[in-house]
Structure 1
Amino acid sequence: MVGNQIVDPAGQTLLLKGVNWFGFETTNYAVHGLWSRNWREMIDQMAALGFNAVRIPVCPTTLQGVAVSGIDYNRNPDLQGLNSLYLLDRIVQNFDQAGFYILLDHHRPDCNAISELWYTNDYSEEQWIQDLVFMARRYANLPHFLGMDLKNEPHGAATWGTGNTATDWNLAAERAAAAILAANPNLLIFVEGIQENATCSSNTNHWWGGNIEPQECYPLNIPGDKLVLSPHVYGPDVYMQPYFNDPNFPNNLPAIWEQHFGRFAGSYAVVIGEWGGRYGHGGHASDRVWQDALVDYLLEKGLRSTFYWSWNANSGDTGGILQDDWVSVWEDKVALLQRLWSESAGATPTATPVGNPTPAPTPTPTAAGSLACEVDYQVVNAWDSGFQSQVTITNRSSQQISGWSLTWTFPGNQQITDLWDGVHSQSGPAVTVTNASWNPNIGANGGQAS
C-alpha cells in the first residue's frame, strides 16, 4: 500500500471490484448456491460481470474440516468427498488462479450468529487469533491473497478507546493484527468499526461495524501500509434508520457518511466491506434511491473499492447479484456497480505462479497412441507440514485424448494425502494418477485436465 491507496505488486493503484459470497460461515460450511449451480461456472460468471475481488465469510468450524452440506454433487462432481477445509482450499485456490483478490472474513464465532465482541463464553480471544493466524499461514503463497477482515460487525458491547481491554475493539484489533503480520507480513489488515461509543462519536445511528469515528481520537496502532478501514453501511432494506425518513432524504446522507467514515479517506485506505440492498426488487422503494446516492458519494470521494453484499440470491434482506434461480443477474445492480467502477482506472489482476518450496518432480503423461502432451507442475500453497500443488496436462495434438494417466517420482519422501480430479496410487516416491470417471477426455489442440 502506498499512502491511502492499495496497489498491486507493480505499484499500480488497485481498484477492488468486490463481491461477498457467503456460506462458509453457516452450518452448511460451504459457499451457498452449490445446490443449484456448478461452482466453477459461478466464478466464471463473476469474472465476466467485471468482479476482480471476493470477500469470503468463514466461521471457526469450517477450518476444522467437518462434513459439508448443501451441495448437488451431480452438478459439482469434483467436490465429492471434500470436507469443509479442503472445500475452502479449492474455492480460494480457484479464485486466486482466476486473478481474484481474496479477502477472508472471520464472520461468526459459532457459525450461527454475529457476536457483539470478538470472543464469547465458548470461543476465546486466543482461539480467535489462532484461527486468523491459521488462515494467514495456510494461504500465504497465493499471490492474490489480499488480506484478513478481523471480525465481522463489532456492535453492542464493543467499545473503542475506553481503556477496557474486555470490550475495546481497537485494542483487540491491534493484538490480532500483530499476530497475523508476524505470520504473514504480506497481508492487509481490514478493521471494521463498531456501533455506538461513549466518546469521540456522534449520536447519529451507526450500523454494526459502521462507526469509524473513534479512530480520530484513538488511532489504531497498526502499520499504516497494512491498515484498511472497512466500515459497513446499509440502506432501508436492512433497517429503517431515522435519517431515512428525514424530509431531506437522500440529500442528508453524504454528511452522515462523511461523519461516520468518509473523512478518513484522505489519510487511510477506506474500503467498504458490505453494502447493498434489493434495489427495488422487493423491499423498500427508497432503497434504490439510497444505493444511487451512496454511489454518487463514493465517486465524489474516490472510494471506488468496495465489496458488494452479496453474490447470493438467498440474502433475505438484500437479495443478491443473482436472482432466485441462481443463474440470472439483476442487470440494474450490475449497471450500478459498473458506474462505480468505470469512472476510475483500476488494475485488472492476472494470476502469477508462486515459488516452489520443494523440488518439483518431472511428471510423465501417457495416452493412447503417440499423442503429444505437456505437463505443468506448480506448488500453489505451502505450510509448515505440507504443501498443495496443481498439475495440468495439456493436449498439444490434433486428436482428443480418451483416458489418461500421469506418473512422476518425488525427489524425497513426500506423500499424497488428498488428491482432486483423479485417482492416485503411490509406491514410495513413485506416483501414478489416472483420470476420474467424469474427466477422461482431454480436448485436442490445447485442451487441459488438472
Structure 2
Amino acid sequence: MTATSRSRGSTRTIGLTAVLALLLGSVVAVFGLGQTAHAATGLRVSDGRVVEANGSDFVMRGVNHPHSWFTDRTPQALADIKALGANTVRVVLSSGDRWERNSESDVAAVISQCRANRLICVLEVHDTTGYGEQDGAVSLDTAADYWIDIAGALEGQESYVVINIGNEPHGNQGYERWTADTAAAVGKLRDAGLDHMLMVDAPNWGQDWTNTMRANAQTVFDADPDGNTVFSIHMYGVYETRAAVSDYLNHFVQAGLPILVGEFGHYHSDGDPDEDAILELSEELGLGYLGWSWSGNGGGVEYLDMAAGFDASALTEWGERIFNGPDGIAETAREATVFGGSGPDPADPTAPDPTDPAADCAVAYTVTNNWGSGFQGAVRIGNTGATPLDGWTLDWTFAGTETVQNLWGGRVSQSGPAVTVTPEAHTAHIPAGGAVEIGFTANGSAAGAPSGVTLNGASCATG
C-alpha cells in the first residue's frame, strides 16, 4: 500500500510504501543490561534505562518539531511545547542532501533554545528517511558525517542533547542492511569523539514490521563502546492493536534493552494506530514517547498537527489528546533534574539565604513565564536549619484560581487553592544550608505570591 508520509514539511511530501503487517512485540522499556556506559558525563543508559548523569531516571515525554522546514517558528514553538508540560522535543534537521542544510550555528541556536526552555533536545537528521526505497534519501554513513561536521555545536552538551542518527533509515527495500549500517554509524560517531547518548530508528519506515531491529538490537547495542544507544520505534499503521504495541515493547523490556516510541500519531493513512495503548503502556513501563508532530504537516496528513497553524491556543483533537488526555504529557512528564538546582544561586536575588535565622526553611516562589491564560513557576526550598531534611511535604495556598497542570521535581495534589507537594527521590534530601527546586506549569492567571507556605507543617520564610 502506498501512502503519504506523515513526517514531512508543509508542502514537502514523500511517497512511502506503508506496511500493514502485524506481529511485533510487546510492551516498552528498559531493564537489565549489566553493562555500564563508559561516558557518564550526561544522559546515558544504565541497566537498560535512560538516566541522567546523577543516576536519576529520565523518561522522555514530548513531541516532534519540524525545525528544518519552519526555522522561524522554532523559538515560539519550543516555548509553547514546554508550557504544555513537555520535558523533551525531537527536532527535525537536514544534512543538506534533501533540504536546506542546518548549519552548525543554527544547531547551536536550537540547543540553546531547548536549554532556555528546560527541554532535553533530541536532534535527528531527516534526509535518511526511506533509504533504499525513497529517491534522494541518504545513508546513515552520510548522516554520521553531518554530525561530525557540526560537532562544535554538540561539544559539552551531553547532559542536554541526544543524537538521533537518522530518521527511518531504511524503507521496505534493503532493510536487511540495517544492522550493519547502524552499527557502523554508531562506531563512526564514537571514533570521532562524540560521547552523547545515541538514538537509532528502526527500518521499514521506522515501524520494523519485519522485526529487523527487534532481532538485532543487542548486536547494535554491543557495537557501541560507550553502551549508550537507545532504540526508537515509530508506531503508525502497524500498531493498530494494544497487543501489537505490547508485544513489541515488552520484547525490549524483557531483553533489558532501552527503547522508546520516537514517533506515533492518533491516525494515519496506512492504518489507525492505538494511541491510547501507546500512551498507557509507555506510562506503565516507564518508557519515553515523542508524538508526531507539533504543526506544519502537509501532503494529506495535516490531521497529525497538534497545534493548528503553530498556535498553542488552537490545539487539535490530537494535540488535546497527547498533551492533556489520560497518560498524556501534562499528567506524566517530569522535567530533567539537570535543569533543577541543588542549592541557591547567589546571583539570584529571589534565592533564599541559607544563613537566615528567621526560620528553618525559606521558600522562594517565582513566576518564570506568563502567557495570560497560564504560567510557569519555580519554587526553591531552602533548608536553613542545622540538620538535613530527608523527605518533606510542602504546602501553599494560591492567591487566586490557579490550578497546577504539571509539576516536576515532586508529586502534587491540589484541593481548591491549596497545594501539597511531596518530593521525588532525587529531591527528597535537602542538606543543611542547601536547597532543591521544583517547577510547574499552571492554568489561570498568576495572581501573586501564595500564602500559608509550610514545610513539614512549619511556617517558612518566603521571598
- 1:8 equivalenced with 2:52 (yes/no): yes
Q: State how far apart, in whole Å, the 1-side matches of 2:76 and 2:165 are.
A: 29
* Matched letter for residue 118 of structure 2: G
Q: State how far apart, in whole Å, the 1-side matches of 2:145 and 2:196 are.
A: 16
- Aligned with 1:181 (options 172, 190, 199): 190
* Matched letter for residue 100 of structure 1: L
Question: 1:209: how far off?
Answer: 9.5
Find the counterpart in structure 2 of residue 314 from structure 1: 297
Instruction: Describe how 1:29-428 pairs up with structure 2 within 5 A.
Output: 30-31=70-71, 34=72, 39-61=74-96, 85-109=104-128, 114-117=129-132, 123=138, 126-142=141-157, 144-153=159-168, 154-160=170-176, 168-195=177-204, 206=207, 212-215=213-216, 220=221, 221-223=223-225, 225-235=227-237, 244=240, 253-266=241-254, 267-277=256-266, 287=272, 290-303=274-287, 305-314=288-297, 316-317=300-301, 318-324=303-309, 326-327=311-312, 328-330=314-316, 331-336=320-325, 339=328, 342=331, 347-350=336-339
Question: 1:21: how far off?
Answer: 0.5
Tell me if structure 1 keeps the 8 A contact 2:280–2:327.
no
Question: 1:172: how far off?
Answer: 1.2
Residues 242-279 of structure 1 show CA distances to partners (whole Å, capped at 9, x for unaligned) of x84xxxxxxxx23322443431124111111111236x
Distance 1:119 1:42, change over 3 A: closer
Q: State how far apart, in whole Å, the 2-side matches of 1:184 and 1:89 are.
A: 18
SS of residue in 1 equivalent to 2:315? coil
SS of residue in 2 equivalent to 1:170? helix
Q: State how far apart, in whole Å, the 2-side matches of 1:300 and 1:257 are.
A: 13
SS of residue in 2 equivalent to 1:41? helix
Question: 1:231: how far off?
Answer: 0.8
Residues 136-169 of structure 1 show CA distances to partners (whole Å, capped at 9, x for unaligned) of 4431123544322122112212334xxxxxxx11
Q: State how far apart, in whole Å, the 1-side matches of 2:115 and 2:172 are.
A: 35
Question: 1:135: how far off?
Answer: 3.5
Tell me if structure 1 keeps the 8 A contact 2:65–2:92.
yes
Question: 1:17: how far off?
Answer: 1.6
RMSD: 3.9
Residues 69-108 of structure 1 show CA distances to partners (whole Å, capped at 9, x for unaligned) of xxxxxxxxxxxxxx85533332222112332111111211
Q: State how far apart, in whole Å, the 2-side matches of 1:345 and 1:145 are.
A: 15
Find the counterpart in structure 1 of residue 396 from structure 2: none
What are structure 2's unaligned runs of at least 5 residues? Answer: 1-44, 342-347, 349-463
* Larger RCO (CA within 8 A; separation ≥ 6): 2
Question: 1:226: how far off?
Answer: 0.4
Whichever of the two has the greater Rg, that structure is 1
Q: State how far apart, in whole Å, the 2-side matches of 1:159 and 1:325 are.
A: 35
SS of residue in 1 equivalent to 2:51? coil
Q: State how far apart, in whole Å, the 1-side matches of 2:122 and 2:166 are.
A: 12
What are structure 1's unaligned runs of at least 5 residues? Answer: 67-82, 161-167, 197-204, 236-240, 245-252, 353-373, 375-450
SS of residue in 1 equivalent to 2:261? coil
Tell me if structure 1 keeps the 8 A contact 2:104–2:150.
no
Work out the number of aligned pairs and report it: 289
Question: 1:217: how far off?
Answer: 8.0
Residues 385-427 of structure 1 show CA distances to partners (whole Å, capped at 9, x for unaligned) of xxxxxxxxxxxxxxxxxxxxxxxxxxxxxxxxxxxxxxxxxxx
* Matched letter for residue 107 of structure 1: H
Q: State how far apart, in whole Å, the 1-side matches of 2:218 and 2:55 are.
A: 31
SS of residue in 1 equivalent to 2:309? coil
Residues 305-326 of structure 1 show CA distances to partners (whole Å, capped at 9, x for unaligned) of 1111111143542422212363
Q: State how far apart, in whole Å, the 2-side matches of 1:58 and 1:321 are.
A: 20
Question: 1:128: how far off?
Answer: 3.1
TM-score, length-normalised on structure 1? 0.55
- Name the structure with the higher strand share: 2
Question: 1:6: how far off?
Answer: 1.0
Distance 1:85 1:60, change over 3 A: same
Residues 200-253 of structure 1 show CA distances to partners (whole Å, capped at 9, x for unaligned) of xxxxx9557985322278554224730101111114xxxxx5x84xxxxxxxx2
Q: Percent identity?
A: 18
Tell me if structure 2 keeps the 8 A contact 1:292–1:336.
no
Question: 1:291: how far off?
Answer: 1.2
Tell me if structure 1 keeps the 8 A contact 2:158–2:197.
no
